[in-house]
Every structure is written in structure tokens, then in C-alpha cells.
Structure 1
């Protein structure tokens, strides 16, 4: 018996196009809901053209000399119409094929540079030795002396200095080679580093201006850079330092100098992922005939196609606002090849959907409240200027899910203890009493939330306040190492003052059933040597975007008072 004819399409395409039931299109939201898939129509669809998975796998070498590459599909929580059966879900499993391996990026042309690292770079990022790709690294002897003098203590700088010393020791002991010829940086398994590490093994002859003190460590490093520039000409020798004055002096002497850029998630804070995207004004006129829609519970789903799909990310919000047209506010729940599924939102602007007596006042706040109350979203980041409602919404949604829904057992609140001005000294009392002065924002927002209950009377409000206080725990970040939070609602306030390493330490404390909310204002960074691009909050927003169980929104409009809004703009 001859074999059936070979399929002309890939398995993923057949499963997607030839198996799906016809769905009527909806041109705009708010129209008639005659868009449900009819079971009878789905049964009438011919399915004989799809070969079983076993035949496709066994016949692949016979059908073509070069089998086609598997389709790359980005999948989140699958959203299907209410009348999809188990067979359609099984067919969807055919789409979960491994993505093709990405080709390695070509190496840039040109000779490798020689980077001279300042001590502050090594103490800022202990892994910086492996961040320079094919270029070589040179460490002056004075840098090793400064590392040794800073390794004592329990501070972040001391820990990084010790880690750097261990890394240097591992590189020196990995292979028996002459240090003068350079140590390969990939000897300890870091294959991305293709260059070599050089130590200063001899006295270098250099001349600096008489106005520069010769005994200062910074000037000695500048002298080493000058000597290397003359010795390795025309090879480019560059000083890498986090010290601005050091770079200014190097450029004044005609030496190449750069900042350490690898710690920055973004070059410019304006390019930070905002979490929301406005649909173009001609979206419905161009794509209305191809949009599929269906109703599932209280939400409406839309499957869209077109050039806007590659710009979308999972859990990103999209909105359409135009005069004379029905508005659309939705969240991306699924992306498959060239199609995306949008899910309409719950309107928390209305009083009947108030969360602990709080209603949202603008579009971005409504987006944020949908993220905060979604049990499938484990990690939420909120950014925005002062007075945009970050802390109030996080507390209100936390109290609702702890006291009303019993989804979490308690609220844990912490923040970076970085003062704006001079430190007032040691604080007496227990851990929570010491954290009390830092938690003024918590007290202010609890006072607002307590006023929303007006029918209980004075005794009822006092009892409510006691209940709320018993379910909120204030913890210090200094004692987070090694902890695991189970079924907790964790709020990290003032997260813009955290380093990426501190942010990783806090997020990895989450156990099963825990939700973490990070909020902050990137324009109010008080930690020294931390910028908008290198903040831990920026780092978390950039790394978690597109993950199915995380979401971010940038709050745009202040709602505190007209005085606070005006001050944020003009001061």
C-alpha cells in the first residue's frame, strides 16, 4: 500500500491553520458577541490532512533532504475559547517545539584593546574580569595593594574585594603559565572571556606633570596607563574607572578613559520599559476585519495580527482611545508566532470595584491594580514620580488579599535604609522599632485606608487598625539572607536605592505562593554611585519584562495634590 502524500506545510503550520475552527471576526470592541466557535462547525472541519506525529517524525528524512527548522513559538498561559475541548489542547502541544539554536554573534573586527582596571571597578563588580570579551586586561600593582586594604569588614565593598581576590587566585592557579605572558581569562570556565589577564611584573618608566603628587594611588595608575600607551603603541590602551575625577584627569593627560558600562541595564532611563503601549489611531480600520473575539466569563478576548505583534510582550498593557470610537483597555496574555491574544481588564475606576475603599483615578493606576490583584502574577514593579499612588495601591490590594480573600497570610514590608540627609545616629529598640522612622509612608497610607470605613464608628475603626497592624510585619533588609517567605505579600519600598545584587537577594527569598511588589521613583536615588541605568529597580524591570508571571507599569500622573504635582514638574 503506497504511503499518503507528503504534507506541504510544517507540522506547526498544519496544527495551527488546518485544524482551527472558523471564527467570525469582530471589527471593534463593544459590537455584537456572535463570535463564539460553533461546535458543529468545528466537527465538520476536515482533519484527514494532518498526519499523526509518529508518521511526521519517521518520514521526515524521506520527505526532504533538509528538514525545516522548528517554529519558534512564544507561549504564556494559554487562553482558548470556552468551548475548546481536550483535542484542541492536545493539538496545541504540537506547537511546543524547541526553538532553533541562535548563531553566535560575529566577533568585531580590529585589534583587541588593553583595558587597565581601576580598583573601584573590581570592588563594584567582582565579575568584571569576564565582561570584556576578546580584549585583554591589565592590573597595576597598586590596584592589588588597594584591594588588600579594603578586604576587611562586612560591607558590600569588602565582600566584593574578597571575591575579586579569590577570582584572581583561581585564575593564577588554573594553568601553569608564565604570568608575564598573560593568564587566559577562560581558564575557570568563563568561555565568553577570550582575552588575557596581565599583572604588573616590572617597574614601568613614565613621566607625569610635576603638579600631580607622585605618591597618590590614582596618579600611579595614570602613570601605568601612560607607560603602557608608549610601550604598546599603536595598540589602544584604555583606563576603566568608576571615578569621574579619575577619568577627567586621564583625558586631560591625553589618555583614553571610559566608565564601566556593563553594570547598566540601560544607557538612558528614557528607554525603560513602560509596560503600556498605545495602539495606533488606524488600528481598527486596518485590522478590524481580521480580529477574532470571544467571550469567556467576564472578560472579552481578541486575537490580533499585524506588524504591531512583534512589539508586544506578555503582560504588556495596550489601549486604544480615539474620539467617537469605543475605547479598549487590554493586557497581552498570549503570543504565538505572528498572532497575539488580548484580554480586557477589570475596571477599578468604578466604585463598585473599589479595593479596600480605594478606586483608581487614571488609566495607569487601573493597569497597576489589575496586576496587583492577579494571583497569576508573582512579581510586580511600579515606577513613577512622587504622589502617583504606588504605596497606597500596593497596601490596599495587599490588605484585600490578606484579610478578605485569605490568599496570603500576612504583609511583609521593607525598604532600603538610605537617608536623604545626614544620618541621625543609632536608633533604639527592636528591629521593628528601629525600622519605624523609615516607615512613615506606611503610617500615612494606613491612615488614609482607615478613613475609608466610615460606618463602623470609632471603636470599629480602632479594632480594624489593630487587625491591620497585626497582619503587617516590618523587616530590615540586613537580615534577609537565608530567609524564605511562604504565602506572603512582600512590599519593597524605595527600591530605586537598591543595587542589582541586593535586588536579587530580596527576590530570591520568595517561596511558594508569595507575591513581591517592588516600587520606587528613579528620580529620587540617594545611594552613592547608583544611577538610573544601574539601579536594581531598573535591572529588575528590564530582566523580567515578558515573563508570563511578572508585570510592570510606569505611573504617569500624580494624584497626591496639586502642590505635589506642580513641584514634581518645576523643581
Structure 2
């Protein structure tokens, strides 16, 4: 049965293509949504860009007919800008305040009541990324849903971790240690392994016998990890996942690496150490470029005084903290002198690397979970010949208003590239910052 989908503003500001994502059903755009989109179109960020895209889409559809009467989409559905169901009278007793959210709810309620009186009523669904709008809709008896068409995985538990543990007969482990390789087909797995995925073999009989392996680029063989337990710029792996991370970071044949994990698992520190080794010691790359999005946690602190570097320092301070630890600086300001003297390490906000072509560099993008799919595409597509890019972040800690654990750019890259030979991923699980930090990450 065909349905009526009423779209909230945040859905279109999150994904302008949502206009065309509902197959042969009817899509309703309340007039209040157009007003909100109009108020965002001058913004210079991702929200403003999406507002302008929605405006262009709607303007293009005008050639197919009048939007208030409804125009037919290529999918067979219909899109309509609603002007006739905006009466606030039925909603006023429940939610008295006349704001845009309630005006959108009023359209949904009026459609819902109108369809109920028909012999063959169509389901009316309000689609919103605002949790409270969906709660209000439920109070009014209106069906509501989150916009999930851009989610690559349905739940956090199904995110690709980059590592799998297999229970095998001890003879399989013995075979690996004897020949230093193992065929993937010999494991008779139901689910295929991805290139550069890590595998932990454990004895199914319950002994302590185990092995740590990595799938080769072709996805056909299991190989030993080539990285020894030696430290990298004074940093050594403290657990199995950190060792896997260093294996990916130091492998020049893997130009795209993604690391996820809770706060304190060592994502940034390990990546910086690997980057310094590759640029300063091995000279594999000309420059180490470190960037992170300028997205505040909580209330924005507003304008900052000074030149560009002074303005960016508070946002980039987590990077400098890790660099101070790696360089073992003793006094305040020492790290700035070191970086100025070296000249090969650049700390930037992501705002300043868009539009660039970046060849021959080791690129680190921290807090990548705050990037949208479009932004992460823009950044990764900037990577030039001979460069390596590492995306870091915790999908459970997102400060962007229109992103969640399943729809952010970092998760998108992990899921899209997991079966590609040029990429590798690992989820760091154990916190190593301190026992307090690990407990806070688990309990809070």
C-alpha cells in the first residue's frame, strides 16, 4: 500500500536526496519546512550547502508542474508542497506554542485525520531526525520514523571492527606456525574475510594456544603480522588491537586507514607516532599534515582574538598535547619551537584543506566522526599520489547536530572501504590512557 511521507526540515538539511528516497509514495513538504530551509541557505557550512541543494532540486521540479498541486517523480511517486493542511486548531490544545515543529506536526495530524475517514486510508508517516518531534507525533497517534536510508548498518553491534576471532582445531594453529601462512578457504567460513582484516585463532579445545594473523590484499591467504613489538617513537603497542593498528599505520601499501574506539584507546597517539616515523625517520612522506573539524562540544565559545594560528590553537590543543608527549617537552612553548624548526609538521583545521591537492603526505584527520558523508568524500578525494590518509574518531561521541553513529562520514568510509585492498580498519577496544579514563568511557 502506498504511503504519505511528511518530511521534517532536518531530514532535508541532512540529506537533500531524501526528496527522491521514498519510491512510489507521496512526499509532502510542509510550508514551514521551506521557511526553515530559506533561513539556512546563506550559511557557509554543510547545512547551508544542503539548504541550497534542496532549493535547486525544488526549483528544477517546478518545470514538471505546480509544486502545491504535486509533481510526479521519476520513481513514480509524487512530491507536493503542502499549503492546505496547515490548520493549527486541532493541535492547539495539546501543543499550544506556534513554532515550526508544531506547524509540521499539524500538517501530519491533519493528513492523518483526513485519511482515517476514507474507505481505503493510506498510512501517514512523519519522517524526522528530531527525537522529540517523533515523541510528539507518537503522543498525537501519528506514525513517525527516523530517516535511515543513509545508514549502512542497522545497529552499532553490526559495525565492522576489522578483526574477527575464530575457534579452530589446534592443528590449524600448528599449521600456521609451521608454514607461516594459511589459506582462507581451509577455514570453511560462512562469511568471507575482507582484505587486510585481522584474525585471531583460538584453540577450540580450550588451551591457551592462539595466533594473530592478517588477511592479505587479495583476501585469499592469512599472513603473520610483520611488525615486531619494538616501539615507534617511544610508543609501543599495549594490546592486540593497538598492534593491529600499528601494522596498518606502518604499511605503505595501505593508503587509507580508519581507526575507531572510545576515548583513551590511543588512536591519535599511535597515529602521530607512526606519522613521525614515516616522515622524519624514513622520509617516506614529505610532510605530516594533521587536521580536525572545528565542531564545539557544548556551547560555542564564539570569536577568538589573534591571527589564524592563535585562533586555531584551542581547537587543535588535543593534537599539541600528544605531540608534547611524543617530543617529551618540558616547558610551555617548546613544542611550537620544535615544529617551527622542523617545518615538516603542519597542524590545520579542516576548513583550510578543502579544495587542496595533497601529494606525498601522511595525512591525519582526527575527530572524523563529526564529518558528514559529503565532507569526508571531499577530504579523501583530495589525497594525491603517494599520500596516506588516516581517519580517527569515536562514532559514539558526535557533536554534529545532524549526524549519528550510523550516518557520520567516518562510519561511511569504514563500511564502504572494508572490502577494498587499499584500505584497512581496526576498532580499538581497551583504554590505555588511565584506569580512570577507561572506567569513565565504560560507565559514563
TM above 0.5, one fold? yes
For residue 279 of structure 1, give the secondary structure of its aligned residue in structure 2.
strand
1:197 paired with 2:79, answer: yes
Aligned to 1:8: none
Whether contact under 8 Å (2:173, 2:211) holds in the other structure is no
**Aligned pair partner of 1:146 in 36, 40, 64:** 36
For residue 538 of structure 1, give the secondary structure of its aligned residue in structure 2.
helix
**Aligned pair partner of 2:385 in 512, 529, 534:** 512
Calculate the TM-score normalised by the size of structure 2.
Answer: 0.88
Query: How many residues end up aligned between the 2 structures?
Result: 433
Aligned to 2:319: 442
Whether contact under 8 Å (1:303, 1:342) holds in the other structure is yes
Q: 1:203 to 1:344 in 2, by over 3 A?
A: closer
Whether contact under 8 Å (1:387, 1:560) holds in the other structure is yes
Larger radius of gyration: 1
Whether contact under 8 Å (2:9, 2:33) holds in the other structure is yes
Deviation at 1:214, TM superposition (A): 7.4
Whether contact under 8 Å (2:360, 2:384) holds in the other structure is yes
Deviation at 1:210, TM superposition (A): 3.7
How far, CA to CA, are the matches of 2:99 and 2:168 in structure 1? 62
Q: 1:334 to 1:401 in 2, by over 3 A?
A: closer
Deviation at 1:274, TM superposition (A): 0.6
**Aligned pair partner of 1:260 in 125, 143, 147:** 147
Deviation at 1:503, TM superposition (A): 1.7
Aligned to 1:315: 196
Deviation at 1:206, TM superposition (A): 7.5
Whether contact under 8 Å (1:348, 1:359) holds in the other structure is no
Q: 1:570 to 1:201 in 2, by over 3 A?
A: closer
Q: 1:555 to 1:218 in 2, by over 3 A?
A: closer
Aligned to 1:92: none
Deviation at 1:335, TM superposition (A): 5.0
Q: Name structure 1 gaps, 5 residues minimum.
A: 1-110, 187-192, 453-457
Whether contact under 8 Å (1:492, 1:516) holds in the other structure is yes
Deviations 1:445-489 (A, max 9, x none): 22332249xxxxx9xx99994587522101121223211101111
- In the TM superposition, 1:268-287 aligns within 5 A as 268-282=155-169, 284-285=170-171
Deviation at 1:373, TM superposition (A): 0.7
Deviations 1:39-93 (A, max 9, x none): xxxxxxxxxxxxxxxxxxxxxxxxxxxxxxxxxxxxxxxxxxxxxxxxxxxxxxx
How far, CA to CA, are the matches of 1:373 and 1:464 in structure 2? 27
Whether contact under 8 Å (2:218, 2:421) holds in the other structure is no
How far, CA to CA, are the matches of 1:203 and 1:466 in structure 2? 62
**Aligned pair partner of 2:404 in 519, 531, 547:** 531
Q: 1:225 to 1:346 in 2, by over 3 A?
A: same
Whether contact under 8 Å (1:133, 1:195) holds in the other structure is yes
Calculate the TM-score normalised by the size of structure 1.
Answer: 0.69
Whether contact under 8 Å (1:292, 1:304) holds in the other structure is no
- In the TM superposition, 1:412-427 aligns within 5 A as 412-427=289-304
Q: 1:441 to 1:181 in 2, by over 3 A?
A: closer
Deviation at 1:179, TM superposition (A): 5.0
**Aligned pair partner of 2:216 in 328, 333, 340:** 333
Whether contact under 8 Å (2:10, 2:402) holds in the other structure is no
Q: Name structure 2 gaps, 5 residues minimum.
A: none
How far, CA to CA, are the matches of 1:202 and 1:445 in structure 2? 58
1:552 paired with 2:425, answer: yes
Whether contact under 8 Å (2:88, 2:103) holds in the other structure is no
- Please give the root-mean-square deviation of Cα atoms over the aligned residues, in Å: 2.9
How far, CA to CA, are the matches of 1:533 and 1:521 in structure 2? 12
Whether contact under 8 Å (1:490, 1:516) holds in the other structure is yes
Deviations 1:386-434 (A, max 9, x none): 2211111111111111112211101111112223343333223333332
- In the TM superposition, 1:349-360 aligns within 5 A as 349=229, 353-360=230-237
**Aligned pair partner of 2:71 in 165, 177, 183:** 183
Whether contact under 8 Å (2:288, 2:363) holds in the other structure is yes
Between 1:408-417 and 1:420-429, the stretch displaced more is 420-429
Q: 1:159 to 1:321 in 2, by over 3 A?
A: same
